[in-house]
Structure 1
C-alpha cells in the first residue's frame, strides 16, 4: 500500500472522520492521513476544479448526483442520517426561556442573534432555510420564513456549520442552526424541532418536499433548485484517487460495524 491517504470531508463530519482516521492509522501506522474540510458544496466544487483526493465524505448525497457522478465518482454510499437543531449555550440571550413551542418568538427579539451556514457552500445552510419554510407551514405562521431570513444577515452566515458552533461558544451568536451531531460534539444545548420540520424522518419526506431553495448550479451562472428531503451523509472513492488501495480500506472501515459505532458515538444515526 502507498504511504498517504487524502480525505476531503464536510465540516460537520470533522469528528467522526477524525475518529475513523485514528482507527485507520492504528491499523496502518505507516500511512499518513491528510484531512481537509469545507462546506459540502465547496468540497464538491473543489473536486470539479481539480482537487485530487482519495475519499470524499459529504453531508448531502444529492451533491454527488448533481456535481460529481459520473465524471469524478462512480458510486457513493449513504452511511448515516441526522437532523437540524437550534443550538445554544447557557450564556445565550433567551436560553432560559426557549422551548420547542416558543423558539420563533424568542428569535424575533431584537437583542437575540442567530446564524446559519452559507447555502451555496454548505448543505446545512439550505437545509436551515428549508426548516424555516417548513416551520412556517407547520406552525401556520405566514411570513415566518421571510422574517427569519431577513433577520439572519450576511454577518451571521458562515462558510460551514462547524464554525457556527464555535461562534456560539465564543459568544458571537446566541443561537445556531446546526446538525445534532455537531451540537453534541461541541457540548451545546439544543432545541429539538418537530420531525415535520427538522428533516430527520423519512416518514415525512413528502412534507419536506414542500420546501425548496435556489442555489448556484454546476456551471457559472446556472441556478438549480433543491427540494427538502431527509438529511443523509454519503461517502465515496474519487475516480482520480492516487491511492485507491488505501481509499478502499478506509471506505470499508467507515461502513463497518466498528465504523458505525464511531458514527453513533459522534451523534450520528448510522445506516
Structure 2
C-alpha cells in the first residue's frame, strides 16, 4: 500500500502485517459494540430484534368521562316528550339549539376576549370525535334539558349543539347547588353537572362570612366547555365550616397546601367534623355564602 506524503513526492509503504492488524482491530471493536455485554452496559440490549426500543411515555392522568343515564329513564323521557314530533328536532336534528350569533356573549365580555383562547370554539376539536361534548349533550338530552339554569343568577342558559355549548361554562361538583341533578361519571365516580353564565363569571364575587372579594377569578375560565372541579370552591378565603353545626373544619396542612398549588381534586373528598362528627363534602363552598357585588359593564 502506497501513501502520498505531499509536496516532497515521497511514497511511504505500509506493511501488509500492519494493514491486517488495523483491520482486525476495527473488526474486533465493532464486534465488541454488538456484544450483549456492551448493549447491556449502554442500556440498549432490547433494541435489537425488538420493537420496544424506548420506554412508554408517561401521559399523565387520563380522565375517563362517561354518561350516567338510566336506559329506562331515557325511554320514558323520549316517549313523554314526543321526540320525533318535536319541531326543534325536525329543524336542527337534535333537541338542542343551533347557534345563530354571539350577541349574548359579546354583551358580557370585552370584544378583545372574543377569541379561541378565552372561548372554546368548534374548530378546536375534531368533528364528531370530542368525548366531552358528546357526553354532555347525551346526558342533557336524555332528560330533555334544552335550557339549564345558572347556579349564580338562576337565568336560563341555552344549550347549543356545538362549541361553545353554553354562554358560560360547565363544571362538576359533588354537591348540586341549584338546578336539575344531572349526573356524569368521571373515573368511575359520580358528579353533578353545574354551570355558571358569562355574566356571573365576569362579575366580582365576595364572601358573606369574611367579606373578601379576591378569591374568585371567573375571567380566567374558558367559556363554553367543561371543568373537572368545582370552580367556585377552588378559590379559598376563610376557613371552611361544617354544614351541620357551623364549626370550623380542621384541614391538614398538606391538604391545604395542595389546594394552594392547584390540586383541586382534594375538594371532592369528604371531611369529618371534629365537633359533631358529620362526614360530608365540607370543602365545597355553599352558593348561599357568597354574593355578586359588581356585574360586568354593558
**Higher-strand-fraction structure:** 1
Q: TM-score, normalised by structure 2?
A: 0.21
In the superposition, the TM-score normalised over structure 1's length comes to 0.22
Q: Going by fraction, where is helix more abundant, 1 or 2?
A: 1
